[in-house]
Amino acid sequence: MKAIVIGAGIGGMSAALALEKAGFSTAVYEAVKEMKPVGAAISIWPNGVKCLNALGLKAQLRALGGNMAFMAYNDGHSGSTLTRFSLSPLVQQVGEYPYPVARAELQALLIDSYGRERIRFGKRVERVEQHASGVTAWFDDGSQAEGDFMVAADGTHSVIRHHVLGEHVERRYAGYVNWNGLVTIDESIAPADQWTTFVGEGKRVSLMPVSGNRFYFFFDVPLPKGLAQDRATVKDDLRGYFAGWAEPVQRLIASIDAQTTNRVEIHDIEPFSRFVRGRVALLGDAAHSTTPDIGQGGCAAMEDAVVLAQTLTAHSLGIEDGLLRYEARRVARTRDLVLKARKRCDVTHAKDAAVTAEWYAGLKEETGERVLAGMCDTIEGGPLG
């Protein structure tokens, strides 16, 4: 059985690795000639880590991950700590650590584990046709590929989604812009073993440790969509948005490299219930695009991959049946993640200022128990518990 996998992102590569481990042959087609991940880093929560463990990447992932032992919220203006607690109870409950990792390094790990030379780069799929015993993918260079089924992991702008759903879906702007990048750890900004977030005015500034003595940083600012962006003004823009904020925030802005800082307008897609049509399955952001507010988009793609391989191998009624079982196991889970992230997004980014003010006030009373319970619930809802 041969799978055509479209897209060599986190979803596509996790799927290709999972399918090969389950005994399928795969061919991966990627539109770009060279991978340039959109964000600087990504937090892989234990549900995602468990999936990568299942793909045989445990030791390699651990080597890329930062030591995120504590979590803290600070007041953006005064810099004072609102709450700080250990992540150890979470690790104890779910049985695995969270790993923030540099995105390029995660991507390289997945690609090299599969075999970089095996991936067909520069192959942009334009359409797919299904017939009684397989699928044909058509690429923009006029070439085509045949397989028994297709895994479309072609991201949030998926072209295959239309084939599966029979209609076009619009992405929804979530109301804020995110700047992110990597910077050398400076403990005068935040402790090296802590996920630190400064909050205020519906904005946030966050730092997470990744390997190699680096912080993954990001800034969120509620803004209208479509503002002109210019790398030359990134630092001045951030100084303006965070004027009057605490000294560590100013120091972080001073230390970032504008040339490697990404600016992303954050979107999601209203969850839908169909991931499969015949022999074509959507996976990752193609199936469920979420805001990054609970750090679960990439983790959900890894979960998809593991479940896909499970459902295709655990049943004997054929590919189409196996794909429908994949859909049945993933629709509710991913809807839950997208809607949880949307809710968190709205509270964090002051969609309703009163609700956000209440959240800030509640952080002063937070012992960690409530936050960790919510995270454990999300993590344990994954396919590997």
Judge contact between 30 and 121, C-beta under 8 A.
yes
Instruction: Considering the complex, state which of residue 218 and residue 360 has its C-beta at the smaller distance from ligand FAD.
Output: 218
Instruction: Considering the complex, state which of residue 301 and residue 384 has its C-beta at the smaller distance from ligand FAD.
Output: 301
Query: Taking the complex as a whole, how short is the minimal distance between the CB of residue 189 and ligand FAD, in angstroms?
Result: 19
Among 159, 185, 223, 376, binds ligand FAD (CB under 6 A): 159
Q: How far apart are the first and last CA of the chain?
A: 29
Among 71, 102, 110, 299, binds ligand FAD (CB under 6 A): 299
Query: Taking the complex as a whole, how short is the minimal distance between the CB of residue 154 and ligand FAD, in angstroms?
Result: 4
Query: Taking the complex as a whole, how short is the minimal distance between the CB of residue 264 and ligand FAD, in angstroms?
Result: 5
Among 98, 181, 278, 295, binds ligand FAD (CB under 6 A): 295
Specify the long-range contacts of residues 307-316, CB closer than 8 Å, at least 24 apart. Answer: 307/383, 308/15, 308/18, 308/19, 308/151, 308/281, 308/283, 309/15, 309/18, 309/19, 309/21, 309/22, 309/24, 310/22, 310/383, 312/19, 312/22, 312/24, 313/22, 313/23
DSSP assignment letter at 120: B
Q: Which stretch binds ligand FAD (CB under 6 A): 164-172, 282-290, 313-321, 346-354?
A: 282-290
Q: Give CA–CA dist 39/303, Å, rounded.
A: 20
Q: Which stretch binds ligand FAD (CB under 6 A): 245-253, 295-303, 318-326, 351-359?
A: 295-303
The whole-angstrom distance between residue 365's C-alpha and the CA centroid of its chain comes to 30
CB atoms within 10 A of CB 33: 9
Instruction: Considering the complex, state which of residue 36 and residue 133 has its C-beta at the smaller distance from ligand FAD.
Output: 36
Instruction: Considering the complex, state which of residue 115 and residue 318 has its C-beta at the smaller distance from ligand FAD.
Output: 115
Structural tokens at position 133: 């015993």
**Residue 209 binding ligand FAD, by CB under 6 A:** no
**Residue 292 binding ligand FAD, by CB under 6 A:** yes
Q: Give CA–CA dist 58/377, Å, rounded.
A: 23
Positions touching ligand FAD (CB under 6 A) are 6-12, 29-32, 38-39, 42-43, 48, 124-125, 153-156, 159, 178, 180, 264, 284-286, 292, 295-299, 301
